[in-house]
């Protein structure tokens, strides 16, 4: 199956992303969306592996230049791999989920989606952040500093008493709290306009000939991957082909 034509047309506008090698294209929601930050943090950590495997990476998000600069400084996502659009034109062309239609505008719709209405899986994923997940890796090394705005700084060793080698209770919730503190402290940098705060994104992995190897379309908040315990599991056959 060929990749969607609107996606190929958009990639043709990004220097160096034509056919000829595998490309991971992540269509992010608003830069200030917590999904975008969490996904970008995972992708930033995996960027060296992607390069070694010969997979190019580009993310296309909703925002502007100053927001993109801050987003990349905070998440560790490579700035040269992030493209921003002021409006979700590509999202619309790809028919990505725009969120729950609500007469009251984007904020009531967002609050309903945070409550799981029109956003399947959101509440279960929020709960997983608090209860832990033995199928997911830990989120903090013992010596990792944890800054939470005005709260006293902590270290990852706080979670050591709860176990080792898996995602401990409250560990992912702490990651999300840290992301929330960052976004709310610079809201208009991350989100110049509120119009698109319910817009969801998608993931597309293309081969060298523009065939679609993998795709995922987000259906709700905290649904940016089909396997949230390991959001990049779909890349395993390409990063570790012998496994």
Query: What confidence tens digit (pLDDT) does each residue in 170-211 have?
Result: 999 999 999 999 999 999 999 999 999 999 999 999 999 999
Round to whole Å and give the CA distance between 53 and 76. 19
Global confidence as pTM:
0.94
Average pLDDT, the chain: 93
Q: Look up the domain containing 120 and give its range.
A: 5-239
**CATH of residue 61:** 3.40.30.10
Q: pLDDT digit string (tens) for 44-65? A: 999 999 999 999 999 999 999 9
Specify the higher pLDDT residue, 140 or 242: 140
Question: What is each CA distance from 195 to 30, 184, 220, in whole angstroms?
Answer: 10, 17, 17
Round to whole Å and give the CA distance between 12 and 152. 47
Whether the predicted pLDDT of 243 surpasses 80: no
- pLDDT for the residue numbered 29: 97
Confidence band of 241 (pLDDT split at 50, 70, 90): low
Q: pLDDT digit string (tens) for 7-45? A: 999 999 988 777 788 999 999 999 999 999 999 999 999
How many domains, in total, are found in the chain?
1
Whether the predicted pLDDT of 89 surpasses 80: yes
Across residues 65-77, what is the average pLDDT? Answer: 98
């Amino acid at each position: 199956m060929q990749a969607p034509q609107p996606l190929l047309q958009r990639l043709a506008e990004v220097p160096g992303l034509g056919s000829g090698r595998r490309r991971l294209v992540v269509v992010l929601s608003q830069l200030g969306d917590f999904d975008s930050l969490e996904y970008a943090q995972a992708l930033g950590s995996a960027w060296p592996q992607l390069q070694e495997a010969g997979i190019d990476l580009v993310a296309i998000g909703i925002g502007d230049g100053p927001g993109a600069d801050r987003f990349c400084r905070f998440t560790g996502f490579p700035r040269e791999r992030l493209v921003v659009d002021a409006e979700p034109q590509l999202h619309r062309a790809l028919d990505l989920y725009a969120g729950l239609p609500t007469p009251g505008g984007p904020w009531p719709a967002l609050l309903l989606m945070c409550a799981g209405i029109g956003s399947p899986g959101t509440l279960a994923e929020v709960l997983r952040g608090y209860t832990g997940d033995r199928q997911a890796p830990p989120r903090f090394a013992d010596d990792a500093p944890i800054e939470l705005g005005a709260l006293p700084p902590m270290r990852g060793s706080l979670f050591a008493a709860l176990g080792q080698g898996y995602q401990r209770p409250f560990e992912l919730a702490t990651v999300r709290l840290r992301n929330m503190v960052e976004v709310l402290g610079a809201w208009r940098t991350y989100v110049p306009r509120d119009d698109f705060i319910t817009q969801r994104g998608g993931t597309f992995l293309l081969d060298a000939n523009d065939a679609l190897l993998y795709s995922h379309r987000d259906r709700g908040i905290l649904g940016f991957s089909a396997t949230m315990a390991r959001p990049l599991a779909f890349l395993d056959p390409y990063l570790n082909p012998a496994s």
